[in-house]
Structure 1
């Protein structure tokens, strides 16, 4: 029987591997990467635990350990607060968004989808029926009849189905508008 040899993958980073640098943006993602990196080196406990009591005369070591934890706590407080502000800004952007008649509905739906994606990326939980209902609610005035038609449907629409219906409706309206011009 042939022997098989393999080299186990090491979870520790290579000696020359650089730790992730914080750029000031997307703190949560950086924090997770940093925790993973530190877990591979195993000093991450210093970021979570209070420093050990050090024997008298070794205050330099104690001060560095306390500083690492204090720095980590400061960054977490600072950027989680900033993240909360960004969430509020994106929520406000979503709530204030209004469709207008002078732009195509599909382009405006794409704008709403981008805002919804930002909300989801920031950890906000928005279920699909709410997304569909809110998009329908934001239709422009000229789409009032179609809006009422969709609101009174008994079957709950999926987001994908709504987009297909909107494309069809917008195409039909464009064809109708062209035929009226002739």
Structure 2
């Protein structure tokens, strides 16, 4: 008794899913396996036994056949969805029931064949997902095509997987293409699995970048945020070679205590020499050995270059001896008691 219960439970575990109108060939194959384990699949293709009252043995065989057919018919109907059960349970025999289902839904699988072929051709592997998982998805599409009566050779499957690899796997795929020996699908999947494990290990063992090491013990502060309404760019209206001019009218020199120049520009500063003129090239300015002065005439005041006023001590002629040997005479030269010139 216990053995029979265990057999019934194991047979129920082999039962296929309920048929909803799709993937009929898959459901048909599973149904055949299940009915075979139950020992009643033979009744579908068994020839009918004519009824004869003269032969009691034939009558008993006919009774057993009807019981087996009724049991097989009930098992098939139990694996149909409710909407299909309401349509097909009225068909009396198991043979006629399977024939009606095959006639109806095997023709619809022809359209699914084109659908599966399109999915197979459009399949592309993407980054960020396990290459093995994506390969299994492609193999599943191949199995669906095989079940639909479209067998695909193993070599073609391997070549298709190589062509559908993502960009980061293109070099590895090119390496497999250049191999002269034929590689089986199982060996190809093992190679993909090894390569994926190696890449995962390299990512784990990869050292951090130099930028990260440089910032290991550095506390980065937040940069000041400027609001657009508070931050306004000032323009100085200067060209690329222009300089900012400073007003010296209010600047007081701490050497001569006069306005208009800085102390570093003052002629009265100790060790400061007057600026030479462009016209003094090839001239010598010095003592009496190179220049002679006329008789001075005193009187009046003059304003010097630095805007200071000086008393004129005299006026006369100055003879300058040039390095060429010639003499240059300057008339009307004013003499003032200052180290600078006017």
CA change 1:25–1:143 in 2 (3 A) is: closer
Inter-partner Cα distance in structure 2 for 1:36 and 1:93:
37
Residue in structure 1 matched with residue 70 of structure 2 by the alignment: none
Inter-partner Cα distance in structure 1 for 2:153 and 2:163:
16
Inter-partner Cα distance in structure 1 for 2:158 and 2:173:
11
Note the alpha carbon deviations across 1:41-89, whole angstroms, 9 max, x for none: 449xxxxxxxxxxxxxxxxxxxxxxxxx9xx6x7655423311111111
RMSD: 3.0
| Equivalent position to 1:39, from 39, 45, 68 | 45
Residue in structure 1 matched with residue 14 of structure 2 by the alignment: none
Q: Which has the higher helix share?
A: 1
Residue in structure 1 matched with residue 184 of structure 2 by the alignment: 158
Residue 174 (1) aligns with residue 200 (2): yes
TM-score by length of 1: 0.62
Residue in structure 2 matched with residue 141 of structure 1 by the alignment: 167
Residue 110 of structure 1, CA deviation: 1.2
Structure 1 unaligned spans of 5+:
1-20, 44-68
Flag the structure with larger Rg: 2
Residue 173 of structure 1, CA deviation: 1.0
Which one scores higher on RCO, CA 8 angstroms, separation ≥ 6? Answer: 1
Give the aligned length.
135
Inter-partner Cα distance in structure 1 for 2:121 and 2:181:
25
Inter-partner Cα distance in structure 2 for 1:38 and 1:172:
54
Residue 27 of structure 1, CA deviation: 4.0
| Equivalent position to 2:131, from 105, 111, 118 | 105
Task: Tell me the SS of whatever aligns to 1:162.
Answer: helix
Inter-partner Cα distance in structure 2 for 1:104 and 1:170:
8
Task: Tell me the SS of whatever aligns to 1:93.
Answer: helix
Structure 2 unaligned spans of 5+:
1-17, 33-40, 50-95, 209-342
Residue 123 (1) aligns with residue 156 (2): no
- Counting only pairs closer than 5 Å after superposition, residues 20-31 of structure 1 correspond to structure 2 as 24-28=21-25, 29=28
Comparing 109-118 and 158-167, the one that deviates more: 109-118
Inter-partner Cα distance in structure 1 for 2:157 and 2:48:
42
TM-score by length of 2: 0.35
Inter-partner Cα distance in structure 1 for 2:42 and 2:110:
23
| Equivalent position to 1:96, from 122, 127, 130 | 122
